[in-house]
Each structure stands twice: as structure tokens, then as C-alpha cells.
Amino acid sequence: MELHELTMHQALAAMRRGELTSVELTEAILARIEAVEPKTRAYLTVTAERALEAARQADALRAAGEERPLLGLPIAIKDNLSTRGVETTCASRILEGYVPPFDATVVERLKAAGAVILGKTNMDEFAMGSSTENSAFFPTHNPWDLERVPGGSSGGSAAAVAAGEALAALGTDTGGSVRQPASLCGLVGVRPTYGRCSRYGLIAFASSLDQPGPLTRDVRDAALLMEVMAGHDPRDATTWREPVPDYVAALGEGDLHGLRVGVPKEYFVEGVEAAVEQAVRSAIETLADLGAEIVEVSLPHSETGLPVYYLIAPAEASANLARFDGIRYGYRAEARTLEELYFRTRGEGFGPEVKRRIMLGTYALSAGYYDAYYRKAQQVRTLIRRDFDRAFEQVDVIVGPTSPVTAFRLGERTDDPLQMYLADIFTLSQALAGIPALSLPCGFDEAGLPIGLQIAAPVLREATMFRVAYAYEQATTWHERRPTL
């Protein structure tokens, strides 16, 4: 196996045995980036010098007998997570040239755990999108088929890991942006419980939904990264104080006896590709073979997830994005008056999808419409959460497809925002409910494109979710495939 194909835990083991150094590994990844980046375009910024310096430091620490959970592992960061001294743009013109003077908490934790940061990955502008085509700079290509999208909005992170341009990456998930690209790129992607990981330094899209999460090549790597990322942060009052469990220890032995797996009858609906439905159904059989009891459950408000999300997320976005006015950060247009400065900066700085969301959100919040739209959406959000509460009285996890379709072609959905929004039909409601969910590979379609299985768990039950995912992964080989580039 080549160095760029290693999982994090394989690379760590090799480094701990003294068979590999972080500098060797980082050089191999940087060479891989150089070789395949013209095809994938996964990165907005590669910080090669910084990465090599961090790798040298990691090797020195290890030589001095010091171990850390991620010591010497090259990892990429989505460009909406603030990185001290490194440009952070959210793939938006309005933040071009913005260099944060601080690290996001999750980035700080990765660095403290010894990770080598490779650079910043491409994304849909302000994380609004499902294909990475809304990047203001360029689209990213799916390593499994370069004419197709990697998903989004964390598409750069997903493509980088799938293509061997990082061992793992951080993404963010507001309504599916870690899980959907993980599904489309054949990776494991985790959306943690809302508040399990700090949002400090994550440039806000929809604050009641945003969560950072890992994208990795297997479940063990996801558990390892989550252990480092998760935990209380005094700088984010929405983080949980509950101690972070040992997720790696919770992976277990692959036996699922005594575990109840819920399958919502609402998840196999029109619009789900045949290959996806087949792969997910056969994954459910595998879980049964491993000892799990399969239980049909109902989430009656599933179909309200999309309209509720597309009222609440834009409403929050319209408020959060008000701060980008050309005064304090990033891009500033030429103007003679203050008003003209605002108009032109925002008019030129934001792309079409961001403007659409700001307008939708401003409308939903405006006097006269607030009760009909925003308040109503909040009420239905409560019903969605109660659906899950009720289902989790009967089962330990809920499974289904992550995405109704495999990777679609670049350009195929860009003209129709609703088609694009439908890409997240299965990932929005867990986010609205604040529960954890992950995606992992469960098959390939006839064209050789990856399919993802989604596993959701109750609040703070990530360990159960990892245990089920790990058991499935141990029983299958999907996660061992790598795209040929």
C-alpha cells in the first residue's frame, strides 16, 4: 500500500513502531497533492512549509518519547474553520484575503493532539450547497469520477481524503455537509450531537445547526478524531459538559446481539435510486446477520424536514451574514458613501446562492411573515425532534440511505436550486433534531460510484453509532476500495 492510502490508525502504528516518520508521510501526501490536485481541485490553500515544520516537530517529540493521539498525522481543514495565520475564506469573495488571528477550537485541539495541518479545503460558499459548485473560486471534482461532484458543502475535504491528499479532514455539517459528501466519496463522515464539538471559530452559517465533524477512511479513524474534537469549550456556551467517552474503546468486537436497529418506513420513497435502495437494504440484512434486531419505526414528519430546514437555516444565515459589510473583514468595494459601500461590497462579495438564502431568510423573519414562516418552522422542528424521541424509545439506532442518489454530474443540478436542496433530503432532519448521525460506505452502483449508509443515534450516543458502524465495516470490504486517479 502507498503512504497516501493509509488510514490514520495504520500510519500512527507505523510511526509508533519507528517504521515511518511524519516528515516522510507528510512529504508523500504533499507529493500526492501536487500530482492529483490539478484533477480534483480539493484545496483552496496548501500550507506545505507549515506542514513540514509541524511534521519535523512531531518527529522530534516522538523521538523524545512523547506520544499524542494524532502525533504526526497530516489532516486537512475545511475553509470555514478559522486557522491562525492562514487565509480562511469560506470559499467566498467577501472573505478573500481574510487571515484569522486565532484558531477554531477544533483546529486548536487537533494541533494540540499533534496533527499536521495540510491546508484549507474547498467548499460551497458559506457551506450553502451540496456539490461544492457554489464555491466562488472553482468546483471540486469527485475522485471516483472527475466529471461528477464530490457532494457538499464539505466537498473539498471529502475529495482530498478520497484522493489520498490527506489522511483525514475536518468538515462541517449544518444539514448534511459532512455526511452527504462522505457518502458520495466513499468515506466515513460524522455529524456529532449538536454541542458535542465546539463551534468557536467556525464561521457561522446557521448557528442552531452548525457542527464540525470528521471525514475519514474508516470508522476507527472517525472515532479517533472525534475523541480529540469533542468536549466542553468555555468559548461556546452551547457545548455539552458531559465527559467525552472513549469512542475507540466503544467500537467493540463486531457483535450486535441485543441491539435494536430502526428502519423508518418513510425512508424508502420515490426518488431513491434503485442501486442505493438495494445497497441499504442489504446492509440492513448484514446488521441482522451480526445479531441486531431490525425494527420498523415511523418518523411521520420526515417530509417536513426540507421546508423546515430551508426556513430556519436561511433565517439564521441572514442574521449571521449581516456582519460581512466591507468594514471589518475581507473584501471591500470602491464606494463614495457608506450606503454604497455596503451595497456594492455585499453585491459583489456574495455569490448567487448566498444572496438567495439571505433573501429567503430575511423574508421569513420579516414582520408580518414571521408567524407564518419562521415560528411555524420552529414548531414543526419540535415535532421532528419528538418523532426521533419516540422512535428511540423502541430502538438504539436508526438506519437508512445518506443520499437518495450517487454522485451526480457537474452542472447537472446547478440551474435548479430545489433539485440541489433535495440532495439532502435524508440528512436534514437529524440536524434539526440535534442528534448525531454518520455515513459509511455500503456499496457501489453500476458506474462504480460509492453509496452511503446513514446511522443515527440519540443525543450524545455517538458511541452506539460507532459500534454499529464498526461492526458493519468489519463484516464488509467497501471501505478498502480506493479510486484510481
When asked if residue 177 is in the footprint of ligand GLN (CB under 6 A), the reply is: yes
Alpha-carbon span 462 to 435, nearest angstrom = 9
Residue 440 and residue 215 in contact, taking contact as beta carbons nearer than 8 Å? no
Q: Which stretch binds ligand GLN (CB under 6 A): 173-181, 192-200, 227-235, 433-441?
A: 173-181
Question: What backbone torsions phi and psi does residue 121 show, to the nearest 5 degrees?
Answer: -100, 155
Question: What's the closest the beta carbon of residue 175 comes to ligand GLN, in angstroms?
Answer: 3
Query: Among 154, 177, 302, 318, which one carries the catalytic annotation?
Result: 177
Question: What's the closest the beta carbon of residue 80 comes to ligand GLN, in angstroms?
Answer: 9
Reply yes or no on whether 177 is catalytic: yes
Question: What's the closest the beta carbon of residue 298 comes to ligand GLN, in angstroms?
Answer: 25
Per the rule left: phi > 0, alpha: psi between -120 and 50, beta: everything else, 431 is alpha
Q: Which stretch binds ligand GLN (CB under 6 A): 124-132, 275-283, 359-367, 385-393?
A: 124-132
Alpha-carbon span 331 to 95, nearest angstrom = 6
Residue closest to ligand GLN, measured at CB: 177
Residue 77 and residue 83 in contact, taking contact as beta carbons nearer than 8 Å? yes
- Cβ proximity to ligand GLN: between 197 and 261 the closer is 197
- Cell readout for 105 is 477550537
Alpha-carbon span 381 to 308, nearest angstrom = 7
Query: Strand, coil or helix: what is 30?
Result: helix
When asked if residue 170 is in the footprint of ligand GLN (CB under 6 A), the reply is: no
Alpha-carbon span 244 to 463, nearest angstrom = 10
- Cβ proximity to ligand GLN: between 139 and 175 the closer is 175
When asked if residue 130 is in the footprint of ligand GLN (CB under 6 A), the reply is: yes
Alpha-carbon span 325 to 185, nearest angstrom = 36
Question: What's the closest the beta carbon of residue 388 comes to ligand GLN, in angstroms?
Answer: 18
Subset of 198-217 contacting ligand GLN (CB under 6 A): 205
Among 128, 136, 188, 222, binds ligand GLN (CB under 6 A): 128
Would you say how long the chain is, in residues? 485
Residue 287 and residue 255 in contact, taking contact as beta carbons nearer than 8 Å? no
- Cβ proximity to ligand GLN: between 176 and 262 the closer is 176
Reply yes or no on whether 78 is catalytic: yes
Question: What's the closest the beta carbon of residue 441 comes to ligand GLN, in angstroms?
Answer: 20
Give 335: exposed, middle or buried? Use CB within 10 Å, 0-12, 13-18, 19+. middle
List 399's β-bridge partners, or say none. Answer: 455
Alpha-carbon span 119 to 340, nearest angstrom = 35
- The site for ligand GLN, by CB under 6 A, has a size of 13
Among 100, 176, 326, 400, binds ligand GLN (CB under 6 A): 176
When asked if residue 164 is in the footprint of ligand GLN (CB under 6 A), the reply is: no
Question: What's the closest the beta carbon of residue 128 comes to ligand GLN, in angstroms?
Answer: 5
When asked if residue 313 is in the footprint of ligand GLN (CB under 6 A), the reply is: yes
- Sketch the per residue contact string, 246 through 265, with ligand GLN: x for CB under 6 A, - otherwise: --------------------
- Cell readout for 330 is 475581507
Residue 100 and residue 88 in contact, taking contact as beta carbons nearer than 8 Å? yes
Alpha-carbon span 420 to 441, nearest angstrom = 22
Buried b (16+ CB within 10 A) or exposed e, 214-226: bbbbbbbbbbbbb
- Sketch the per residue contact string, 401 through 440, with ligand GLN: x for CB under 6 A, - otherwise: -----------------------x----------------
Subset of 318-347 contacting ligand GLN (CB under 6 A): none
Question: What's the closest the beta carbon of residue 179 comes to ligand GLN, in angstroms?
Answer: 9
Reply yes or no on whether 429 is catalytic: no
Q: Which stretch binds ligand GLN (CB under 6 A): 174-182, 229-237, 239-247, 465-473?
A: 174-182
List 170's β-bridge partners, or say none. Answer: 77, 214
Among 153, 157, 239, 345, binds ligand GLN (CB under 6 A): 153
Alpha-carbon span 246 to 223, nearest angstrom = 8
When asked if residue 129 is in the footprint of ligand GLN (CB under 6 A), the reply is: yes
List 78's β-bridge partners, or say none. Answer: 121
Alpha-carbon span 182 to 159, nearest angstrom = 9
When asked if residue 175 is in the footprint of ligand GLN (CB under 6 A), the reply is: yes
Chain positions contacting ligand GLN, by CB under 6 A: 127-130, 153, 173-177, 205, 313, 424
Catalytic residues: 78, 153, 177
